[in-house]
């Protein structure tokens, strides 16, 4: 099951001169600027609402931020850390975006799942592998398959 992304809108408010200054959730200082940001039911300096990963100012990037595990993240980092690459073509489970994957054509595989689906041989960098009927095959099994096909009696 894929969970829905959690995203929060960012509001930009102008500070009313007659209300007492709000504390910034980022630096804990009072906000005396003309504008402040409101996100996650807290108030922030424009400079203090930043992505925990890349430090980009979220008030500028767009109007949404993402939170997970007490981190405030921009969309790009959120997807990089918590998004998914896709389903593994071998075991059909989801692959989280931060995991290393093997790719063959449009298919993605867990590193652990990337092996010949007939003899389970794993591949090293530089090894040849073949993709046939959406199955990963080692060279031996691929060539064996070709031979069998080649020698199969022609049905008329
Ligand atoms: Zn601040
Ligand atoms: Zn970021
Ligand atoms: Zn897999
Ligand atoms: Zn094999």
pLDDT for the residue numbered 151: 61
- Round to whole Å and give the CA distance between 44 and 21: 11
Q: Higher model confidence: residue 47 or residue 14?
A: 47
Question: What's the predicted TM-score (pTM) here?
Answer: 0.59
Whole-number Å distance, alpha carbon 110 to ligand 3 midpoint, is 4
Q: pLDDT per residue over 97-148, tens digit each? A: 888 899 988 899 999 999 999 999 998 878 899 999 889 999 999 999 988 8
Which is higher by pLDDT, 31 or 17? 31
| Phi, psi torsion values for 65, nearest 5 degrees | -130, 165
- Four-residue CA torsion sign, 133, 137, 142, 145: negative
pLDDT digits (tens, 9 = 90+) for 55-106: 998 887 556 889 888 889 998 899 888 888 899 999 999 998 888 899 988 8
- CA 86 to ligand 2 center in whole angstroms: 21
pLDDT of residue 1: 46
Q: Are strands 135-138 and 129-132 parallel, antiparallel or unpaired?
A: antiparallel
Q: How many CB atoms lie within 10 A of CB 133?
A: 7
- CA 121 to ligand 4 center in whole angstroms: 6
Delineate the domains of the chain, giving CATH numbers in brackets: 5-80 (2.10.110.10), 84-148 (2.10.110.10)
Pairing state of beta strands 35-39 and 42-44?
Answer: antiparallel
Span from the CA of 46 to the centroid of ligand 1 (angstroms): 7
């Amino acid at each position: 099951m894929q969970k829905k992304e959690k995203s929060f809108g960012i509001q930009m408010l102008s500070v009313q001169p007659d209300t007492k200054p709000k504390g910034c959730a980022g630096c804990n200082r009072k906000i005396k600027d003309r504008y402040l940001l409101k996100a996650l039911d807290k108030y922030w300096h424009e400079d203090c609402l930043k992505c925990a990963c890349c430090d980009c100012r979220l008030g500028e990037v767009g109007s949404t931020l993402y939170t997970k595990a007490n981190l405030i993240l921009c969309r790009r980092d959120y997807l990089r850390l918590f998004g998914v690459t896709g389903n593994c073509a071998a075991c059909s489970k989801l692959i989280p975006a931060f995991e290393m994957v093997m790719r063959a054509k449009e298919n993605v595989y867990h590193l652990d799942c990337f092996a010949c689906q007939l003899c389970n041989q794993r591949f090293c960098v530089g090894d040849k592998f073949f993709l046939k009927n959406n199955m990963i095959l080692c060279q031996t099994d691929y060539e064996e398959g070709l031979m069998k096909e080649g020698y199969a009696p022609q049905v008329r």
